């Protein structure tokens, strides 16, 4: 036991994670001032004061009041609040109240929909365990894992989570599942041997990292790093450095808001000055006219419409197994052009599966995925009946070895089939079930009498069984080791001379395919043998079969990647697995495997080199969390919109950095789920393709809403502007404009958010993130609809005035005509380019029909109800008035449809609503 030290003499620094694996145990003990008996209780207390608790800092949470105030951070809102204030000062209290009500409703909707603050850091905290077994002053004791300090000696056994970063000093058949940290699908066999300094993190077999799990064996380890200095602590730091970017649509809406606000304010100011200079109008009247223009031109209902479009998208995606955590992220999928996906558990099942079984002269392929026994064994080279019969017997023997020389099993739970024990052994167990064996029956006929447990140094396991035909030794292990024990092979005769070259060749084929290879062998023993020893197990065996195992790609993921490619989306696989396995899985998934880059190669690249390479390579292996994060950032620097899928702690920083982070809901960690924008509740990559379609539909419907709202608002503003410039009475008052905007927003505008989506959504290339809403299409509609709407309403109002109609009647005609213009224009907006007169376009038009019916009822109430007549100063219309209004309003739809027809004639068909340049270019 080492002597007690003062705080000043305690280990000055925890060992850096990049050096502990290449130091001897003695060197580590010397640097950490500890020994075989561990630390003293007093020394542990001093170090706890120095290094702090073995825990990570929780994430900051945005207060609710601040979240609510953020909803008012918009130029639209600022202008509307100013308009409400001025209207109130001018004694137009109704106008002021309506404006304020709209602002408040929008703020409440945004506050409710924004959701929870990010909790990735607190989720990572859950990976630490509550208690640990340590040795202090030579006595084994249980302590709170938060009290662990560098230099502590920790004991681990199968099923334990690793409480801190440890340098292992002794191991007994110790295997560790590090998939959540490294992405490696197979449990790592641990060993205390010293490693070279350049050993990648995923291959540091003498280390165990916080949050990973021991799946087999026992071990003692020295605590090297705790809390924020652990590998998970490093990931925690990376997560803290990530700034959540605005979505493309948020950026576009902000740009639209800024530009539109400046234009509206300039026009309103010019109108005020023109009225006063040209006609010597009273300042208060001109100020009210300027407010009317601002209220008419600013789409105060647009924020609510966009929020509702997104909310409906969220509901639809939830029904398709995709839960949305951040509302604005729904539309991002519409512009995603690169999906970076973790391999293990995302593209693959994260379950070892026996996929190929090779015997003498015959090869079998096993169908099915994961630990489910559903599947079959097929294949092989057909020969004579006798030979075939012998080889079927060999398959049966191989299945018995896989089942009996095995300490694992599988069972079905609410989350599917799960492995009990070592994943590789569980895969062999499933192989036997697919061959038709049942555990209870076989164990009864093959009674186990003795076992040689798996020894990492000898790399095999053996069991002794009593059968009706005598004693049998069954053995499985590393193929080159097992082959050295064999002198014969099971083939067309009971015992052929071993063909070592054949087996070595088949081992290479399986290894080149990225599979883990296991060998199965057996041996008959005399009846007087009652126990096993190494001498019996390591000589005179019969080679039976080779089994190739891997974590297979999900069948639905293969189709989903093909769908993504068809939609112009490139898929990149970023994994912690080895390059050979990554390339093999990539080939099956349909990815470009011409080049595979490793994490060490990425570390050696500068930013410029990586920016050139990242667009060319689709597969990245042996990557660290930092590599994944930098790859996402590099793609974003190349102006890609990036989605990142993953399930492990190692994916959390990249998930948060990506434009859209997608976590797995079933097998994913809390850290991944809390760092993501989406959670797939079925862990199915294919859900991504469906989510992309929904994202594109959300953007389409948002664009349709903007194309509907802005031109009609412009028409209202132009009506006011023309009246001021010509010195006329306003055809529509400010309060009447607010009525028009309110009634059409809650009826006509909302109809577009329920559109089912164009048929070609997934045949389009992705929409570039830098494309804006102010495109050629919108500009044309602004000119056509805004101009024609104003040129219809203003002359109609003037004609009524000239015919001696009252101001109330003329304005009533103007208001109803403007509303009917919007109703006719809505029909055209259902399809940005297709004609409303083509066959089949009325399918799914129910929401539009309902909205038009509602707005007609609202206008009838507005026109004929005494209350509304008094509040808004309007009069009842005759049948002739309605006919004139409807006939005039329909002209706008005819103008838009003529423009569509001209566009289709001169515009390439591939430009159909691409969202690339969005226009007839």
The angle subtended at Cα 315 by Cα 313 and Cα 319, nearest 5°, is 115
The angle subtended at Cα 557 by Cα 555 and Cα 558, nearest 5°, is 70
Alpha carbons 796 and 780: distance in angstroms, whole number? 24
Residue 808 to residues 274, 333, 791, 811, 870, Cα–Cα distance (Å): 26, 49, 20, 5, 10
Residue 727 to residues 92, 271, 719, 724, 798, Cα–Cα distance (Å): 22, 11, 12, 5, 12
- Beta strand extents in 870-911 (DSSP E only): none
Phi-psi region of 840 (alpha: psi -120 to 50; beta: other; left: phi over 0): left
Alpha carbons 303 and 260: distance in angstroms, whole number? 14
Phi-psi region of 230 (alpha: psi -120 to 50; beta: other; left: phi over 0): beta
> Which tokens hold the place of 578?
């080895």
DSSP 3-state assignment of 576? coil
Alpha carbons 168 and 21: distance in angstroms, whole number? 9
Residue 292 to residues 35, 263, 730, 737, 868, Cα–Cα distance (Å): 82, 15, 10, 7, 19
Contact between residue 231 and residue 196 where contact means Cβ atoms under 8 Å apart: no
Please count the residues of the chain: 921
Task: Give the contacts of 819 (CB within 8 A, at least 6 positions apart).
Answer: 740, 743, 744, 855, 859
Alpha helical stretches, state H, 53-136: 64-70, 75-89, 93-114, 120-125
The CB-side HSE value for 443 (13 A sphere, CA atoms) comes to 10
Contact between residue 461 and residue 453 where contact means Cβ atoms under 8 Å apart: yes
3-state secondary structure 278-290: HHCCCHHHHHHHH
Q: If residue 597 lies in a helix (H) or strand (E), which one and from where to where? A: strand 596-598
Q: Please identify every residue annotated as catalytic.
A: 342
3-state secondary structure 479-514: HHHHHHHEEEECCCCCCEECCHHHHHHHHHHHHHCC
Contact between residue 679 and residue 323 where contact means Cβ atoms under 8 Å apart: yes
Burial class (CB in 10 A: 0-12, 13-18, 19+), 883: exposed
Q: What letter does residue 836 receive in the DSSP assignment?
A: T
**Closest residue by Cα to residue 159 from 185, 121, 133, 126:** 133
- Beta strand extents in 145-212 (DSSP E only): 153-157, 165-177, 188-189, 207-208
Alpha helical stretches, state H, 9-92: 25-32, 41-51, 64-70, 75-89
């Amino acid at each position: 036991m080492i002597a007690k030290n003062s705080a000043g003499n305690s280990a000055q620094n925890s060992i850096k994670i990049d050096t502990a694996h290449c130091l001897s145990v003695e060197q580590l003990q010397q640097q950490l001032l500890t020994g075989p008996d561990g630390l003293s209780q007093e020394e542990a207390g001093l170090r706890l004061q120095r290094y702090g608790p073995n825990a990570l800092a929780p994430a900051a949470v945005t207060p609710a009041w601040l979240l609510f105030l953020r909803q008012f951070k918009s130029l639209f809102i600022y202008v509307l609040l100013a308009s409400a204030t001025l209207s109130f000062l001018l004694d137009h209290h109704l106008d002021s109240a309506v404006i304020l009500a709209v602002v408040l409703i929008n703020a409440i909707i945004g506050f409710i929909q924004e959701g929870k603050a990010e909790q990735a850091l607190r989720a990572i905290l859950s990976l630490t365990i509550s208690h640990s077994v340590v040795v202090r002053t030579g006595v084994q004791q249980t302590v709170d894992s938060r009290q662990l300090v560098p230099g502590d000696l920790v004991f681990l056994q199968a099923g334990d989570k690793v409480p801190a970063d440890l340098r292992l000093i002794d191991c007994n058949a110790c295997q560790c599942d590090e998939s959540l940290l490294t992405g490696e699908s197979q449990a790592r066999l641990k060993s205390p041997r010293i490693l070279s300094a350049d050993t990648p993190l995923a291959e540091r077999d003498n280390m165990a990292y916080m949050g990973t799990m021991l799946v087999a064996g026992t071990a003692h380890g020295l605590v090297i790093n705790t809390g924020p200095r652990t590998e998970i602590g490093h990931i925690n730091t990376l997560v803290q450095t990530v700034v959540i970017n605005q979505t493309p649509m948020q950026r576009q809406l902000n740009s639209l808001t800024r530009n539109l606000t400046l234009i509206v304010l300039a026009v309103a100011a010019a109108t005020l000055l023109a009225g006063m200079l040209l006609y010597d109008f009273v300042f208060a009247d001109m100020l009210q006219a300027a407010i009317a223009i601002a209220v008419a031109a600013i789409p105060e209902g647009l924020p609510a419409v966009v929020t509702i479009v997104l909310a409906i998208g969220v509901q639809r995606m939830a029904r398709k197994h995709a839960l949305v955590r951040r509302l604005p992220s729904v539309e991002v999928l519409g512009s995603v052009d690169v999906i970076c996906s973790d391999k293990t558990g995302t593209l693959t099942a994260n379950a070892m599966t026996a996929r190929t079984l090779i015997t003498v002269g015959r090869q079998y392929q096993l169908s099915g995925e994961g630990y489910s026994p559903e599947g079959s064994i097929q294949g092989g080279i057909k020969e004579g009946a006798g030979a075939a019969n012998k080889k079927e017997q060999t398959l049966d023997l191989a299945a018995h070895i896989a089942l009996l020389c095995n300490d694992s099993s599988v069972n079905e739970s609410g989350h599917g089939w799960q492995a009990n024990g070592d994943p590789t052994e569980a895969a062999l167990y499933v192989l036997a079930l697919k061959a038709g064996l049942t555990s209870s029956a076989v164990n009864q006929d093959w009674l186990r009498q003795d076992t040689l447990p798996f020894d990492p140094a000898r790399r095999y396991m053996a069991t002794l069984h009593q059968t009706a035909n005598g004693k049998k030794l069954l053995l499985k292990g590393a193929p080159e080791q097992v082959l050295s024990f064999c002198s014969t092979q099971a083939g067309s005769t009971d015992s052929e001379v071993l063909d070592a070259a054949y087996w070595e060749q088949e081992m290479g084929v399986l290894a080149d395919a990225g599979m883990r290879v296991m060998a199965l062998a057996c041996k008959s023993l005399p009846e007087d043998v009652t126990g096993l020893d190494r001498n019996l197990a390591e000589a005179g065996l019969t080679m039976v079969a080779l089994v190739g195992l891997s974590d297979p790609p999900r069948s639905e993921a293969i189709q989903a990647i093909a769908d993504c490619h068809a939609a112009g989306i490139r898929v990149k696989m970023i994994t912690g697995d080895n390059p050979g396995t990554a390339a093999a899985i990539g080939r099956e998934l349909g990815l470009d495997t011409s080049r595979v880059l490793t994490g060490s190669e990425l570390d050696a690249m500068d930013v410029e080199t990586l920016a050139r390479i990242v667009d060319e390579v689709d597969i990245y292996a042996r990557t660290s969390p930092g590599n994944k994060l930098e790859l996402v950032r590099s793609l974003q620097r190349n102006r890609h919109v990036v989605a990142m899928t993953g399930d492990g702690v190692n994916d959390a920083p990249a998930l948060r950095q990506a434009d859209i982070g997608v976590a797995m809901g079933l097998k994913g960690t809390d850290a991944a789920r809390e760092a993501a924008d989406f959670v797939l509740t079925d862990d199915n990559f294919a859900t991504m393709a469906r989510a992309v379609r929904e994202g594109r539909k959300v953007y389409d419907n948002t664009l349709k809403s903007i194309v509907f709202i802005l031109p009609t608002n412009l028409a209202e503003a132009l009506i006011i502007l023309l009246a001021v410039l010509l010195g006329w009475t306003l055809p529509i008052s400010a309060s009447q404009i607010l009525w028009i905007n309110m009634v059409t927003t809650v009826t006509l505008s909302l109809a577009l958010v329920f559109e089912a989506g164009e048929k070609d959504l997934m045949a389009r290339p992705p929409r570039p993130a830098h494309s804006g809403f102010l495109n050629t299409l919108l500009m044309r509609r602004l000119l056509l609809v805004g101009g024609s709407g104003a040129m219809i309403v203003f002359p109609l109002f003037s004609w009524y005035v000239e015919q001696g109609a009252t101001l109330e009647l003329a304005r009533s005609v103007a208001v109803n005509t403007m509303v009917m213009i919007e109703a006719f224009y809505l029909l055209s907006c259902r399809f940005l380019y297709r004609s409303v007169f083509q066959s089949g376009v009325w399918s799914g038009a129910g929401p539009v029909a309902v909205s038009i019916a509602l707005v007609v009822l609202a206008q009838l109430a507005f026109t004929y109800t005494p209350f509304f007549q008094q509040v808004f100063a309007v009069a009842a219309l005759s049948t002739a008035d309605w006919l004139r209004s409807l006939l005039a309003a329909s002209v706008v739809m005819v103008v838009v449809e003529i423009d569509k027809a001209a566009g289709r004639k001169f515009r390439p068909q591939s430009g159909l609503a691409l969202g690339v340049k969005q226009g007839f270019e």
